[in-house]
Every structure is written in C-alpha cells, then in structure tokens.
Amino acid sequence: MELLLESFKNIFELNQSYLEIVVLSLYVSIFATLLSGILSIIIASYISTTNFIGKEMITIIINSLMSLPPVVVGLVLYIIFSASGILGFMDILYSPAIMILAQFIIVTPIIMSLLLKCFTDKYMYLSELLSSLNTTKYKTRNTIIYETRYDVVIAFITGLSRALSEVGAVIIVGGNIDNLTRVMTTSIVLETSRGELSLALSLGISLILIALVMNVLILILKKKFL
Amino acid sequence: MKNIYSINNLSYRLDSNEIITNISCDIKRGCISVIKGPNGAGKTTLLKLVFGLIQPSSGKIIRNFDQNNIEIAYIFQNPIFLNRTVRENLRHALYCKDICKSKWNSIIEKKVNEFILNDFLDIDIRLLSGGELQLVSLLRSSLVTPNILFYDEPTNNLDTKNVKLISNILNKYLKEGSTIIMVSHDELLLKNLNHQELIMEKGRILNV
C-alpha cells in the first residue's frame, strides 16, 4: 500500500525526470504512429480499391508482419545503424530518431492490416454505388476513408497503444540513456532491476492512465463527430 | 446512330454457371427498353453488363456514344446509401460527379421540390422506408439529368401515387432525349410509358 501511495505521489508531484520520460515516450510513439498511420492509409486504401496480381500475397505478408518480434526489429536496426553497419554514417543509433523508426516498423503492419480490413469491407459494400456514380479512383478512396473514419481512429489508437507499450526494440536501438532515450517502458525495466519499485510502478500506472484517456477520447470523438 | 448500344454474342459466366447465354440485340437511342422475364432469368445481370458494372465472359457491347461527354446513371433494385442524412447522400453524389460545390445547394433544392421530398432532406437515411429509399435513389441519379438511365425494378415498394410520380419523371426524361433501360414487371408503370420489351428466360432473349 505504501508503495502504491508513493507511486501516485511521484505522478502528482510531476518531478522533472518523471516528466521527461513521459514526454519523450509520448513524442516518440505519437510521431511513429502518425507516420505509420499516414503511410498505412495511403497503401491500404490503394490495395483495397484496386485489383492487381499479387494482391492476396501482399495482404498475407502485411498480416504476417503484425507478429514481427520487436527484439528482432531492434537487432536488425542495430546491425544496420551501428558504426560498422551500412547506414552507420547517419549516426542515429541511441537517439529518439531511431526509436521512432523502430516503432514505425513495428506499428505499421498492425495499423495497415486493420485499415485494410475495414477499407476492403466498406469498398465491397459501396463499390457498385461508386461505380454507378462514375466517380474517380481518387474520390472512391476519399469516400472509403471518410466512411470508415471511426475505424481509422481506432486503428491509430491501437497502433499508438502498441508503440507506447513497446520495449524490446527501443531498448536495443535507444540504449535507455538518461535524459536522451529513456522512455516509460525501458525505464520500468531499469528501475525494477535497480529495486526502485515506486518509480517503476508510477510509470506503469501512467501507461495505463494514458490508455484510459485515449479510450475516453475515442468515446467522446465517436459521440460528437463520427 | 439509331442504336445507342449494340450487343453481340454476349455471355456471362459465374464459376461454372452460365447466367447470360449468347445474347445479341440493340438498344434504341431515346427510347425506353424494358427487360422482362421470370426470376433468375438474368435481367439484372444483363443490365449490369450493359452499364459496365461487371465484365462479360465473352461477346461485345458496342457503345455508340462518347463516354466522356455523357451522363449515365444506374439505380439499383436495393439502393445503396452512405449512412448519413439524405442531404449528405445527395451532396456526396454531386461530389462524385465533379459538380462545383457552390452549386450543390441550388441543385438539391430544385430536385427535391420536383420529387416532393423536402421533408426528408435532413433525415438519417436509415430511418426511411423501402419506398422512400427508392425515391431518394431516383432523386440522387437525377441530380444531373442522365442521358442514359439504367433502372432496376424502379417501383419496388412504391405505392400507386409514387408509381405515377416515377412514370411522370421517366416520361419527362424521355421528352428531354434520355435513353432508359430498365427491368420492370409493373404494369401500372409500363402502361403509361411508350417502350420496347426484351423478354428474357434462362439467360436468353426470346423476342429478338
């Protein structure tokens, strides 16, 4: 009980190191999710409204990539961006930039797969109507995206939740450096191993609170605008 | 050219089932062509093939018009709508047809008056009855007067008053030079329309 009280005290005191960790976590994950979401909307809307050879194979690959192990993503990025790697000259290892890239790779198949499913379903329902209106492919895609806007928000939130809770890749490529690449999940791992359970717990509670706030936001958005 | 469509040896197969078998016929310009026949004869499939919603397995449809300069509309037996209000569905149709946004409201107001649907404009489409949906569907396809109108069972779920309303609208289009191709068995509607009949059975046209 004392531990729990101390954890909440950490949250409400908003001390500098706690705030830095939360802000960096949100910055990295929101940035990665936004990039991933924009790319996913473009690709998923194209795939769902176009017939081409290999469409099923691409869908299978996207779905399979959802289970991409984060530590493998981290390891591959580490090999590529380490000093002796082919992109080592970019010098982004142990920086927020490579953490964004890692989360982007992990989150993209999840968002794309969810969008592909809802865009395809909506297109199957509306395709005859849109054809009968002699509309262009561009307007067809716009209609499909607009008509599934609630599902698009859900896919973004799912992606953001996945990015925020990710630890394996960011700890490898970010290095969990204080004031530079330390995010909530990597910090929880470190503080737990150091026995600083109250700080670890307050970060864990923060993660849950963020998830809760996001879900409340979805509900409000759905009722007001969607 | 007197014929707007010339259909040559048209067939359509779905898996191993032949829905349309070797049909050849002409659709006259500026007339109403009514496709009739029992259930499962392939009437709707033929309508979709001629419009271009589905592609034939074999055969050819010659379109004697410039597709870029002609307004073609298709009205479904079970109309499909976006889950929005009637007004928003109409606005979406105008968006798809590349009509300048500044003209949307005036076009909608004018057409809604013609169809006597003023009270429905801001109602959610999901709250309308089958007959009302048919009328809104015709209204949507009429926002820009179609040169060719494909109409699948136009009077489904409609009462006598609305059948007469649709009959008047179709006659008006005919006078304006539109070509109408429709599937219908509604004698009340057909008796007021000067039309040619294509009788179908088991995927073939019997009276060519």
* List of E strands, chain B: 3-14, 17-28, 32-36, 58-63, 72-75, 148-152, 179-183, 195-201, 204-205
In a domain, A37, yes or no: yes
Residue B107 has pLDDT above 60, yes or no: yes
A10-14, A124-128, B109-113, range with the lowest pLDDT: A10-14
In a domain, A207, yes or no: no
Rounded CA-CA distance A62/A154 in Å is 18
**pLDDT one-digit tens code per residue, A183-209:** 999 999 999 999 989 888 999 999 999
Stretch A100-116: mean pLDDT: 97
Q: Do B96 and A134 touch (CB under 8 A)?
A: yes
* pLDDT number for residue A169: 95
Find the domain containing A35 and state its range.
25-181
Which of B82, B143, B144, B147 best tests the A interface by mutation, with the highest count of A CBs <10 A?
A: B82
Mean pLDDT (chain A) is 92
In a domain, A63, yes or no: yes
CATH of the domain at A109: 1.10.3720.10
User: Nearest C-alpha of chain B: how many angstroms from A108?
Assistant: 29
In a domain, A124, yes or no: yes
A93-107, A131-145, A205-219, range with the lowest pLDDT: A205-219
Rounded CA-CA distance B134/B76 in Å is 9
In a domain, A121, yes or no: yes
Residue B192 has pLDDT above 70, yes or no: yes
Rounded CA-CA distance A60/B19 in Å is 32
pTM: 0.86
Residue A95 has pLDDT above 80, yes or no: yes
**pLDDT one-digit tens code per residue, B43-53:** 999 999 999 99
CB neighbourhood size of A53 (10 A):
6
User: Nearest C-alpha of chain B: how many angstroms from A64?
Assistant: 30
Residue A97 has pLDDT above 90, yes or no: yes
Contacts of A171 (CB under 8 A, 6+ apart): A74, A185, A186, A189
**pLDDT one-digit tens code per residue, B114-137:** 888 888 999 999 999 888 898 899
Q: In the numeric block, which tokens belong to residue A145?
A: 């995206």
User: Nearest C-alpha of chain A: how many angstroms from B169?
Assistant: 20
For chain B, how big is the Rg over CA atoms in Å?
17
Asked if the C-beta of A51 comes within 8 angstroms of chain B's C-beta atoms, the answer is no
Rounded CA-CA distance B116/B130 in Å is 16
* pLDDT number for residue A220: 86
**pLDDT one-digit tens code per residue, B22-49:** 999 999 999 999 999 999 999 999 999 9
Q: Do A125 and B80 touch (CB under 8 A)?
A: yes
Stretch B91-96: mean pLDDT: 95
Q: Please give the residue of chain B at the shortest CA–CA distance from A226.
A: B84
AA identity, residue B36: K
Residue B1 has pLDDT above 60, yes or no: no
Nearest to B123 by CA among B79, B83, B158, B163: B83
> By three-state DSSP, how is residue A70 classified?
helix
Mean pLDDT (chain B) is 90
> By three-state DSSP, how is residue B121 classified?
coil
Rounded CA-CA distance A46/A119 in Å is 9
Tokens 């499962």, residue located: B40
> By three-state DSSP, how is residue B85 classified?
strand
Q: Do B80 and A133 touch (CB under 8 A)?
A: no
Read out DSSP for B96-157? HTT--GGGHHHHHHHHHHHTT-GGGTTSBGGGS-HHHHHHHHHHHHTSS--SEEEEESTTTT
B155 confidence band (pLDDT: 50, 70, 90): confident
Rounded CA-CA distance A191/A193 in Å is 5
How many domains are contained in chain A? 1
In a domain, A18, yes or no: no
Residue A164 has pLDDT above 60, yes or no: yes
Contact residues on chain A for B142, CB-CB shorter than 8 A: none
In a domain, A3, yes or no: no
Q: Do B80 and A126 touch (CB under 8 A)?
A: yes
Rounded CA-CA distance B184/B200 in Å is 12
In a domain, A17, yes or no: no
* pLDDT number for residue A165: 92
Burial of A60 (0-12, 13-18, 19+ CB in 10 A): exposed
Contact residues on chain A for B52, CB-CB shorter than 8 A: 131
Percent of chain B, pLDDT > 70? 99
ipTM: 0.81
CB A214 within 8 A of CB A16: no
